[in-house]
Structure 1
Amino acid sequence: MVYSDVDGTSMDQKSDKKRGKNKLKSKKAEAEEHEEQLKRLKETQAEFYEYMKERDEGLLKFDAAEFEDDADDAEAGAETDLEDTEKQAVEETPKLEIAKKANEQKTITLDMFKSWRKSIREDAKLGAVRSMLRAYRTACHYGDDSGDDPSAKLSVMSSAVFNKVMVFVLTEMDEILRKLLRLPETGGMKDTIVEVTNTRPWKNYNHLVKSYLGNSLHVLNQMTEAGMISFTLRRLKHSSVFLTAFPSLLRKYIKVALHFWGTGSAPIAVVSLLFLRDLCIRLGNDCVDDCFKGMYKAYVLNCQFVNVVKLQHISFLGNGFIELLGTDISAAYQHAFVFIRQLAMILREALNTRTKEAFRKVYQWKFIHCLELWTGAICAYSSQSELRPVAYPLAQIISGVARLVPTARYVPLRIRCVSMLNRIAASTGTFIPVSMLLMDMLDMKELNRPPTGGVGKGVDLRTLLKVSKPAVKTRAFQEACVYSVVEELVEHLSQWSYSAAFFELSFIPTIRLRSFYKSTKAERFRKEMKQLISQIEANTEFVNKKRASSGFQPNEPAAASFLESDKEAGTSPLSQYAKIIRQRAKQRNESLVQSDVTVGESSAVYGKSASMSDEEEDEADTNEKGAAAFSSSWLPGSDSKGKEVEEEKKKKKRKRKSSVSSEKKQDEEGAGEDDVVEDFVLSSDEEEEDDLFDIGGDKDEEDDAADEITEPETKTSTKKTKGTYKTWHKAYKKTKKKKPRVA
């Protein structure tokens, strides 16, 4: 910083003047001293003086007065220079003002935009492309908190110009850049871009590509309107292959797309999924690992709370993740191995320690939905040899989870586990003995006693992992359990209804079904068991007749094709009965949804309404969709953005209040007691102890510790456990206030 004196002369200029004077004065003193030395030399060494006079008389002719004149002239010259500098500064002031005005930012008008667009379309002028990208940058950064870039030549535009610039660039810039880089009009893979980066066109125009992608990323982070986000991502998908040359931008795009996929509405989530899938297909290993890990984490974070409506969202996210796994099956196996191993370690800790903390890590929605996710992945790619090896360890983990706490309150969880095992068995063609898990549930005392809790409210086992103590004693719970056991047992037996060993594998389940038929006093259950037993016996007779007429041994290859034609036609008695049971289960679930859950217009709808084929949408009426997306008077300014943020905060507060009230109602009814969990943290591959799942629970868990922990505890250990749970419960009460809303 330069400071000025009262007279306007800068302090630096005055100091320079003083230094010049001191320097000249020192030279004058040296000259006088040198003149005296020459005089002393003539007196003391006369011979040497005469010798110097003969050889070089000029060295002895020295006059100090000359330096005095030089000092005075220099002082006067310094003053003159200072005056000239001040005069020159005064004269240059208008010139600086003129240059400053020349560099002032211009307003982008509609005529400027039309002229650039005409030059690009008709004359293909590179200058117009640069001007359009500068206008696009201004539009993307308009209203930033840091202010507009002072070095930018263009600034300020109306909403109409903003809309036209955004739509034109997003719609046509990909084609323009491909022409400049001499690339195909559409598509392209990673190798194509790698080859182009060594060419001269890339060196000349790569800054245009980076500007387009970087500014688009910036405006994506500022957008809040669903139509604008969907249109922008859909158009950027065509240019995603360019991200090969910009790894830092690639990581940021993946992060933004994962955020939209995990938290956005149906249209945004579908477009984000397609964007990520296109990245994985075109770029390969550069983004596959990041996409797999990010999507898995986003999926688990969405599994904290479950109801019928939330199940649709979770199902959509799971299907999207499974779809993405198909882009690279080899990498999918590596990630599946790591994540399934983490689940196995959590289950092993629960089996070894048998503490309530370890049990809660297993019996929470995050853990169960992870099992269902990998079950869906194995079922989807059962024909691929890469994922088949993880089917066995996954089935072992699911069986261990089902047997971990064998109480009636965890019947919903066991039903889910049996359903997953049936799906794995059906997709891989492997026999998994699930009938014993189902028969053990029928032997529970809660299902063999008359209900003492009254009729009770309908229980939807799909949205529960555990039911409350009062609900176990109701008639509705008993019916839900028995009917669910029958449905899963029919699914299991119908899968092997064409096997030559059907009589052997159905023998023990039939005996136990007859035992339950005799012991139960509920006529509705007796009728259900009688019908199931008759269907099993009919199927046994059907198989034995075919087996008696066959002439091959069980170990011969011909046994594999036993009843193959009948299986394709689905003519066995159990196959026909399974269709009836599925239809009945569907009707019962629909009735539970209509009676217990109110689905509003604002609820997320995934599936039929969300179309996965966006290629047709991209090509048809692209300009109209873009104009509709940007047709509002929205500008990414701080004022409008602040209003939108405030509105979102108000909406979130309202939803939190409604979710808290619904959760309180659930707690009173005993539903979803173990559904409170914290954020999901991914661990590295080398970690021996995985803290994937945090603990969540409630006070009711403390009251029935004896029901859950099978091993006896001493008095001292019980006291310690109660003490630790008091401190844990205090921390839980604090976290419950910050509980995320139920979507």
Structure 2
Amino acid sequence: MGKVKKATKKYNQKHLKGELERRNKNKKAQQQHKKRELAKRKRGDAEGEGDDTELFTGIEEVDDLANFAGSSIKGVDDDLGRFMQADPENEDRSASDDEYNTSALLGGSDDETEGSDDDADIDDDDVKDESGASDGGSGEEDGGDSDDEETVFKKELKAMKEKDPAFFQFMEKNDPGSLRILEQDSEGEGSDGEDAEMDEDEEEEEDEKAESTGAIEVTTKLLVDWEREIKRDYSLRALKKLLLAFYAASHMDSENGESGDTPYRIQGMRIFNKTVSTAIRAVPKALGHHAPVVGGRVDRKSKKWSVVQALIKSYLASLLELQGQMSDAAMIQYLLKECERMVPYFACFVRYTRELVRGLLRQFGSTAADDGVRIMALLTLRQLVAISPAEIVDMALKGLYLTYVRSSNVKNMASLTTIQLMRNCGVELYGNDAHASYQHAFVYIRQLAIHLRNSMQLRSKESFRAIYNWQFVNSLDFWTEVLATYCGDRAEEKPELCSTLESLVYPLSQIILGVARLVPTAKYFPLRLRCIGLLLRLSSATGVYIPVLPMIIEVLESPEFLGRRPVKSTLKPLALDVHLKAPAEYEHTRVYLEAVLECVFGLLADAIASQSVRIAFPEWTVPVTLQLRRWRKHVGKSWVRFSKQLQGLLDKIDQTSRLVQQHRNNVEFGPSNFGAANRFMNTVDPDNTPVGVYASSLRNVRAQQRATLLKAEMEA
């Protein structure tokens, strides 16, 4: 060993001991900090994703993982071993991962990493031997031992910088004093010739830095070459370059300007489109080779997972960024299909799963989105919910319902159709998890009941407005459709969901009855008739009897028809479906009351048809037929068209009563046999009875009228 310089001796005597003590002190503090951070990650995020506000760039982590997997934990300082164990990206690594040659997978040769192995593999025996040689050969004063310690320390720092640049950067930020020794005596080191040449790893690192600062422009030839290598050899090196280019393309219009961090630059829309299409075409196949999906889930216990997970995260981050920037419906739908294909990979990272759920809900509730985008967002969300933990399921169910409520303000027939589609999509999603669906349904139905109770107690205009609005009414419509679907139409498909949700039928029906009777004036006939329609839907689907006929008769016997002559008007016909109350100019007019009567007779036919196969149907219809005949006698002269329509309904009721009596004449059980009575005429469809056929014809007429109004609005 060469002669020790005076500056080195002076540093050893005055500063080295203090630096080593401070280094040890900082090391302990860092270890405690890492333990606390790891405990927080384990409590807050099972995947250890860290801060949700930062998106992964996909550049540094790939290189760090390559260095981690290519080196041995035993061959470096204990700090590096603890750093590896505390890294959330490497918690699931097994002991055999250290023997896995990542450099070969990235496209390099084994020789590229052998040059620095000797510097990295420094253990305590080497330190002792070297210090002993220094004692015997130098003959200097007390500075010999400290000089050897300094040399060993400098070698360890250099090896750490070469083998683990991530931890070296960490030390620079948190303990820069311990690295100051590398800056001492740089001229002397140059004269001794110890660092005269760079090894192959350092040269390669410098080349990569030069490329990154130069921002290589992506060309069609580069994309073709990368895609060919990926398809032929599943090259991780080519895959990494393609992902970096894809990341640059997806962040071209980013507000944060993060695309400047990548070594590639995208110029022009043609290259942008080519980069995106190449990445979406080639990357999923390569990821499927290195991290295959088995049974709908990714195998994260394989050796390659520690290498490719950073690449997967980069691809998912780019997809999410690109999806948020697009405004074209066809492009959004194309990206949503790709997200649906990558759902098993999204499920591996909780942070990106949350980002995906937020993006899907944003597309689902966007006013500019078309029906295809909404349906695609729902399909992706449903597939994600099926394999995600409970917190993601809750987030998706809650977010979808709130998105539906915020978007449920009806303005015209077109918005009514959109809301109907969103409602059907939400009902589909609520059929995946019985426990979570019941919890959300119970909470939100209870909130509706609380609002109704407060309004009934206060009896003020403000409290009535809290109930008589489209958000509240469409919320009732949403939960009615959920219960009618899974407790009626599809009860046999999902018996567990049916048994869980059926207890909510009674409280929901009570809320709807309370809303219908909150303000029983003629102005709010549209809302009242809408509530009657919800009750009919709930009753006919679930088989639970709900007395709606008295509510319909109350409308017919109101003073608007019996005690007041309607005002003639030249206003155009009113569509009750898009109104909760009558506009001021329509109040007491014949146009408005004709629309009400048309809706009333349709609901009346539906209510009677839903009970047309009951064994007590002839007796059940006696009160209503008497009241209808009385109304026709006293009011029919003023409403000739509806009087004839009512007479047709009464005839169909009589025909259905005779049909039921014919079947009753052949029964062999008594009134006490409730099981047999419930099975009476269970093979006959209510729509095939005379009154059922009549009700179906009225529904078809109303559907045609809605289609005509919708077409007129679209053409206007």
Q: TM-score, normalised by structure 1?
A: 0.64
Partner of 1:524: 641
Aligned partner of 2:434 among 314, 329, 336: 329
1:53-72 mapped onto 2 (5 Å cutoff) = none
The number of aligned residues is 508
Partner of 1:63: none
Q: CA offset at residue 543 of structure 1?
A: 2.5
Aligned partner of 1:293 among 394, 398, 407: 398
- Structure 1 gap segments, 5+ residues each: 1-15, 24-80, 602-743
Q: Does 1:310 align with 2:415?
A: yes
Q: Does 1:142 align with 2:252?
A: yes
What is the alpha-carbon distance in structure 2 between the residues aligned to residue 173 and residue 82 of structure 1?
Answer: 49
Residues 413, 709 of structure 2: 8 Å contact kept: no
Partner of 2:214: 104
What is the alpha-carbon distance in structure 1 between the residues aligned to residue 380 and residue 517 of structure 2?
Answer: 41
Secondary structure at the aligned position of 2:517 is classed as helix
Deviates more, 1:108-117 or 1:202-211: 108-117
Partner of 1:381: 486
State the Cα deviation string for residues 252-291 of structure 1 (Å, max 9, x = none): 1110110011112222222211111110122252421111
1:353-502 mapped onto 2 (5 Å cutoff) = 353-382=458-487, 383=491, 384-448=498-562, 449-502=564-617
1:60-99 mapped onto 2 (5 Å cutoff) = none
Residues 548, 607 of structure 2: 8 Å contact kept: yes
What is the alpha-carbon distance in structure 2 between the residues aligned to residue 542 and residue 235 of structure 1?
Answer: 56
Q: Does 1:168 align with 2:278?
A: yes
Q: TM-score, normalised by structure 2?
A: 0.66
Residues 455, 475 of structure 1: 8 Å contact kept: no
Partner of 2:655: 538
Secondary structure at the aligned position of 1:199 is classed as coil
State the Cα deviation string for residues 693-716 of structure 1 (Å, max 9, x = none): xxxxxxxxxxxxxxxxxxxxxxxx
Secondary structure at the aligned position of 1:386 is classed as helix
Residues 139, 162 of structure 1: 8 Å contact kept: yes
Secondary structure at the aligned position of 2:383 is classed as helix
Match of 1:532, as an amino acid?
A: L
Higher RCO (CA < 8 A, seq sep 6+): 1
Residues 303, 314 of structure 1: 8 Å contact kept: yes
Residues 293, 344 of structure 2: 8 Å contact kept: no
What is the alpha-carbon distance in structure 1 between the residues aligned to residue 544 and residue 418 of structure 2?
Answer: 30
Q: CA offset at residue 508 of structure 1?
A: 1.8
What is the alpha-carbon distance in structure 1 between the residues aligned to residue 313 and residue 209 of structure 2?
Answer: 29
What is the alpha-carbon distance in structure 1 between the residues aligned to residue 288 and residue 437 of structure 2?
Answer: 33
Q: CA offset at residue 555 of structure 1?
A: 2.4
Q: CA offset at residue 308 of structure 1?
A: 0.6
- Structure 1 residues 145 and 302, CA gap change in structure 2 (3 angstroms): closer
Q: CA offset at residue 462 of structure 1?
A: 0.7
Q: CA offset at residue 570 of structure 1?
A: 5.1
Residues 253, 325 of structure 2: 8 Å contact kept: no
Partner of 1:74: none
Q: CA offset at residue 247 of structure 1?
A: 0.9
Match of 2:541, as an amino acid?
A: S
What is the alpha-carbon distance in structure 2 between the residues aligned to residue 266 and residue 151 of structure 1?
Answer: 37
What is the alpha-carbon distance in structure 2 between the residues aligned to residue 255 and residue 267 of structure 1?
Answer: 18
1:510-659 mapped onto 2 (5 Å cutoff) = 510-520=625-635, 521-522=637-638, 523-556=640-673, 557-565=675-683, 567-568=684-685, 571-590=688-707, 592-593=709-710, 597-600=712-715
Match of 2:647, as an amino acid?
A: K
Q: CA offset at residue 416 of structure 1?
A: 0.6
What is the alpha-carbon distance in structure 1 between the residues aligned to residue 293 and residue 567 of structure 2?
Answer: 75
Aligned partner of 1:258 among 361, 375, 383: 361
Q: Does 1:275 align with 2:385?
A: no
Q: CA offset at residue 166 of structure 1?
A: 0.9
Residues 612, 692 of structure 2: 8 Å contact kept: yes
What is the alpha-carbon distance in structure 2 between the residues aligned to residue 584 and residue 442 of structure 1?
Answer: 21
Q: CA offset at residue 494 of structure 1?
A: 0.8
Match of 1:563, as an amino acid?
A: M
What is the alpha-carbon distance in structure 2 between the residues aligned to residue 479 and residue 237 of structure 1?
Answer: 49
Aligned partner of 1:126 among 228, 231, 236: 236
Partner of 1:705: none
Aligned partner of 1:236 among 339, 342, 349: 339
Residues 446, 472 of structure 1: 8 Å contact kept: no
Partner of 2:69: none
What is the alpha-carbon distance in structure 2 between the residues aligned to residue 173 and residue 100 of structure 1?
Answer: 25
Q: CA offset at residue 354 of structure 1?
A: 1.5
What is the alpha-carbon distance in structure 1 between the residues aligned to residue 242 and residue 666 of structure 2?
Answer: 81
- Structure 1 residues 525 and 139, CA gap change in structure 2 (3 angstroms): closer
State the Cα deviation string for residues 517-567 of structure 1 (Å, max 9, x = none): 1221313333233332333233333333433453422220321222334x2
- Structure 1 residues 471 and 245, CA gap change in structure 2 (3 angstroms): same
Residues 610, 686 of structure 2: 8 Å contact kept: no
Match of 2:539, as an amino acid?
A: A
What is the alpha-carbon distance in structure 1 between the residues aligned to residue 704 and residue 235 of structure 2?
Answer: 65
What is the alpha-carbon distance in structure 1 between the residues aligned to residue 647 and residue 253 of structure 2?
Answer: 73
Partner of 2:302: 199
Deviates more, 1:388-397 or 1:118-127: 118-127
What is the alpha-carbon distance in structure 1 between the residues aligned to residue 208 and residue 427 of structure 2?
Answer: 60
Q: Does 1:209 align with 2:319?
A: no
Residues 361, 377 of structure 2: 8 Å contact kept: yes
- Structure 1 residues 126 and 580, CA gap change in structure 2 (3 angstroms): closer
- Structure 1 residues 338 and 569, CA gap change in structure 2 (3 angstroms): closer
CA RMSD of aligned residues (A): 3.0
Match of 1:560, as an amino acid?
A: N
What is the alpha-carbon distance in structure 2 between the residues aligned to residue 83 and residue 543 of structure 1?
Answer: 106
State the Cα deviation string for residues 207-261 of structure 1 (Å, max 9, x = none): 1111111122122222222222211121121111112221111111110110011
Residues 248, 260 of structure 2: 8 Å contact kept: no
What is the alpha-carbon distance in structure 2 between the residues aligned to residue 585 and residue 372 of structure 1?
Answer: 19
What is the alpha-carbon distance in structure 1 between the residues aligned to residue 253 and residue 569 of structure 2?
Answer: 63
State the Cα deviation string for residues 23-58 of structure 1 (Å, max 9, x = none): 9xxxxxxxxxxxxxxxxxxxxxxxxxxxxxxxxxxx
Match of 1:222, as an amino acid?
A: Q
| Largest Rg, 1 or 2 | 1
What is the alpha-carbon distance in structure 2 between the residues aligned to residue 335 and residue 145 of structure 1?
Answer: 36
- Structure 2 gap segments, 5+ residues each: 1-6, 15-183, 197-202, 492-497
Partner of 2:95: none
What is the alpha-carbon distance in structure 1 between the residues aligned to residue 335 and residue 685 of structure 2?
Answer: 47
State the Cα deviation string for residues 678-737 of structure 1 (Å, max 9, x = none): xxxxxxxxxxxxxxxxxxxxxxxxxxxxxxxxxxxxxxxxxxxxxxxxxxxxxxxxxxxx
Q: CA offset at residue 182 of structure 1?
A: 4.2
Residues 410, 416 of structure 2: 8 Å contact kept: no
Q: CA offset at residue 589 of structure 1?
A: 3.9
What is the alpha-carbon distance in structure 1 between the residues aligned to residue 695 and residue 187 of structure 2?
Answer: 104
Q: Does 1:155 align with 2:258?
A: no
What is the alpha-carbon distance in structure 1 between the residues aligned to residue 559 and residue 288 of structure 2?
Answer: 72
Match of 1:518, as an amino acid?
A: K
